Amino acid sequence: MKTVKIILVNLCRLALALTFVFSGFVKAIDPQGTQYKLQDYLTALSLQGFVPDAVTLLAAVALAAIELTMGIMILFAIERRRISKFVVAFMAVMTLITVWIFFANPVKDCGCFGDAIHLTNGQTLAKNIVLMACALIVVRWPLLMPRLISKTNQWIITNYTLLYILATSAWCLWDLPTFDFRPYHLGANILKGMTIPKGAPQPKFTTTFILEKHGVKKEFTLDNYPDSTWTFIDSKTVQTAPGYVPPIHDFSIEDQQGNDITQQALHHKGYTFLLIMPHLEQADQSQFGDINEIYDYAVDHHYPFYCLTASDEKARQKWEDMTGAEYPFYTCDETTLKTIVRSNPGLVLLKDATVIGKWSHNRLPKEIMSDKPLNELSIGQLNPDSVAKRVTEIFLWYVLPLFLLSLVDRIIVNIKRRKDIFVSHKNNRTMRKKIVAGNWKMNMNLQDGVALAKEINAACAADKPNCGVIVCTPFIHLASVAQVLDQNVVALGAENCADKAKGAYTGEVSAEMVKSTGAQYVILGHSERRQYYHETPEILKEKVQLALANGLKVIFCCGETLEEREANKQNEVVKAELDGSVFNLSADEWKNIVLAYEPIWAIGTGKTATSDQAEEMLAYIRSIVAEKYGKQAAEDTTILYGGSCKPGNAKELFAKPDIDGGLIGGASLKAADFKAIIDAWK
C-alpha cells in the first residue's frame, strides 16, 4: 500500500513537473506570444484599453518564470510542502479560468503551451482537471517525494532557474524566440502553408427552411421539403463540421490602392525582403539607418522589398518623415504580422516563397554591407540551427552551470564544516559530549548478551573511540554485563525503570535497583514503551525524576509517527513530549539529560530520516531547549539521532552540526556494526 502511494505521488510529481517546465519554457522563449494571448483575454473581458502593454509583457515573463521555477522545484522536491501547496493554489486558479473559457469560449486556444501545442478549450479543461488531481495527491503526501538535491544546494537551483528564465526571456525579446513553432518558421514555404491538400475535409453546412400552411409554421430540410401547398417564409444555414484549415490562412498583401498582390509577391522567383511592422506607431526607430541601407541594397540588386504594416496612411507618412524611409508600404493583417516575426520592425527574407532568414531589428544582417548578391552570402542560404544544437545550448546554459554551482557550494560547505570541526576541537572544553549508545531491546539471552558486551568492550579497548559509548541492556543483563565492561570506555545503561520508588509492584525494577547494578544511564520515553506499554507523559515524568534522584543519567527519547510527519506536526509532537516529561527539570537536573530524537517511522524499518531531516529536527529541538534553559545549556546538551542508523549512514548523519551521535537498535547487536558506527566519529 505504502509503495503504491509512493509510486502514485511520484508519478503525479513527474506529470506536474514536466508540464510546468515545458509550459514555462515555451512561454519564456516567446514572451510576446504570451503577451498577445493575455491581451486576447483582456479583450474578451473588454479590458484591453486599461492595461498598458508593458504590464502584459511583464505578466507574460512572470508567468513563464513562475511556471518553470515551480516545475523545477517539484521535480527536485525543493521546499516540498510549501511548493506543493503553491501548486494547488496555482492549479485552482488555472482550472477556474479554463472552466470559464470552456463555457464562455472567449478565446479559441488557452495559450498554455504557447504556439508549441494548441489545445481546444475542452482539452485544456481536461488537462487542468488531471493536473489539479495530481496537485491534490502531491499536497497530501509531499514528503513521499524524495529530494534530488541536498538541502544546502536547493537555493542554487531555485535562484539559478529564476535567473536563467529571466535572462532567456530578455534574450528572446531582444532577438527572436529560440524555437519558432509558428507556420512562418525558417524553412516554411508560405505558398505550401496556404494550400488545402486534395481530399482534405470540407466544411459541412445544413440549411433548414421555414414554411407556413394554414397559419402553422414548420421547419424542413432538403430531405423532407414539402409540396407547393406550403409557403416559404425563411431559411437558415449553420456550419455542422469544420473543414480543413491550412496552417497559413490569413496571409494577404494589399497595395495602397487596395489591390491584392499576395500571389504576385509569393510567386516571385528568387529573393524577396519583407519588412514587418504591425504598428508603425509602436515600432522601434533606433535601427532605421540600417533598414534604409538594406532597402537600398535590395533596390541595387533588384530584390523586391515590401514593408508590411497594419497602420494607416497617416502613420506611414509620419514614419517616412521621421526615418527617411523610401520603401513601399503594403497592408497586411495585424495578427498575421505579429505571427510572422516577433519584432517590430522585423525583417524576413524569402526565397521562392520559403522563409530563409528572420531577424529582429536588434540583430539585422550585417553581411549585406559587403554589397555582394545574396546567393554569394551565407544569409542567402537556408541555414537554420539544428534542434540538437539549440538543445545543447540550453544544456550548456542551464544544466552545466547548475552542476558547477552545486559543486562549488559543496566544496564551500565542506571547507566550512572542517573549519567548524577544527574550531570545536580547539575549544574542547565547551564541546558537548558525542555519544553512540546501543539499545539492545528484547533480543538476547544472558549468555549471548554477556558475550556481545565482552566483544564490544574488547574492540573499544583496543581502538579507543572518539566518543562516549554506552550499551543499554535488558534488566537481567545489567549486573553481569557490568562485570565485563570497563566503564571508562563503555558505559552501561538500562532500557527502562519503574515509575515507583519502591514497594509492592510485582515484576517492576526501580531506578535504585538499576543503579545498584553499576549502570549509569537509563533510556526513558522510548516510542515502543509509549506505544506498547502505554507510558504517558505523566508516567515518564515520574520515571525521569526517580532516575535522576538515584544518580542515573537519562537518555530521553522523542519522535513523531509517519502520519504526524505527513501532517507536518513533527515539531509540535516533539515539543509536547519534552514539555510533558522533562522541561519541568531544574537547570542542574537538565545537565544529566541526553536527548534522542527517534522518528517512529524510521525505527527498525530500514528507512532512515535523511541527514537533512534529522539535522532539521535536532536543530529545532536544540532551539526549544535554548528557549527553556538558555543558549549555553542548549549548546551543551547532547542530542542523538535514532532510527535505522547503520555503518553505511552514520558518517553522513554525524557530520551534521546538531547531531551528537546515535541511539542504535538493530545495528548494536553486532559488535562489528556497532564499532563501525562508533568509528564514524573518527
Q: Which residues bind ligand 13P (CB under 6 A)?
A: 439, 526, 598, 603-604, 642-645, 663-667
Task: Identify which of residues 278 and 643 has a Cβ nearer to ligand 13P in the complex.
Answer: 643
Q: Which of 495, 535, 577, 598 is flagged as catalytic?
A: 598
Nearest distance from C-beta of residue 614 to ligand 13P, angstroms: 13
The CA-based angle 36-359-336, given to 5 degrees, is: 35
The residue type at 645? C
Task: Identify which of residues 421 and 672 has a Cβ nearer to ligand 13P in the complex.
Answer: 672
Secondary element (H or E) of residue 358: strand 354-360
Nearest distance from C-beta of residue 74 to ligand 13P, angstroms: 30
Task: Identify which of residues 347 and 573 has a Cβ nearer to ligand 13P in the complex.
Answer: 573
**526 noted as active-site residue:** yes
3-class DSSP assignment, residue 626:
helix
Nearest distance from C-beta of residue 661 to ligand 13P, angstroms: 12
> Where do the H-state alpha helices sit in 105-150?
121-140
The residue type at 98? T
Q: Which of 526, 560, 577, 615 is flagged as catalytic?
A: 526
Residue 602 contacts by C-beta under 8 Å, 6 or more apart in sequence?
A: 608, 609, 642, 643, 644
Nearest distance from C-beta of residue 648 to ligand 13P, angstroms: 12
3-class DSSP assignment, residue 474:
coil
Nine cell digits for residue 158: 531555485
Task: Identify which of residues 548 and 645 has a Cβ nearer to ligand 13P in the complex.
Answer: 645
Side-chain half-sphere CA neighbours of 562 within 13 A: 13
The residue type at 395? F
> Where do the H-state alpha helices sit in 45-79?
53-76
Task: Identify which of residues 57 and 667 has a Cβ nearer to ligand 13P in the complex.
Answer: 667
Task: Identify which of residues 80 and 434 has a Cβ nearer to ligand 13P in the complex.
Answer: 434
Nearest distance from C-beta of residue 602 to ligand 13P, angstroms: 6
Nearest distance from C-beta of residue 521 to ligand 13P, angstroms: 12
Name the residue with the smallest CB distance to ligand 13P: 665
Nearest distance from C-beta of residue 555 to ligand 13P, angstroms: 9
Among candidates 591, 603, 595, 642, which has minimal Cα distance to 620?
595
Nearest distance from C-beta of residue 439 to ligand 13P, angstroms: 4
| Cα end-to-end distance, the chain, whole Å | 40
Asked if 293 and 369 count as a contact pair (C-beta separation under 8 A), the reply is: yes
Nearest distance from C-beta of residue 388 to ligand 13P, angstroms: 49
Q: What count of residues does the chain have?
A: 682
Task: Identify which of residues 356 and 554 has a Cβ nearer to ligand 13P in the complex.
Answer: 554
Among candidates 336, 331, 159, 319, which has minimal Cα distance to 250?
336
Q: Is 379 exposed, middle or buried (0-12, 13-18, 19+ CB in 10 A)?
A: middle
Measured in degrees and rounded to the nearest 5, phi and psi for residue 436 equal: -120, 120
Task: Identify which of residues 346 and 438 has a Cβ nearer to ligand 13P in the complex.
Answer: 438
Secondary element (H or E) of residue 290: helix 288-300
**598 noted as active-site residue:** yes
Asked if 143 and 565 count as a contact pair (C-beta separation under 8 A), the reply is: yes
Q: How many CB atoms are closer than 10 A to CB 52?
A: 9
Task: Identify which of residues 40 and 660 has a Cβ nearer to ligand 13P in the complex.
Answer: 660
Secondary element (H or E) of residue 553: strand 553-558
Between the alpha carbon of residue 651 and those of residues 645, 647, 654, the distances in Å are 10, 8, 5
Report helix, strand and coil shares of the chain as percent, to nearest 5.
55, 15, 35
Active site residues: 526, 598
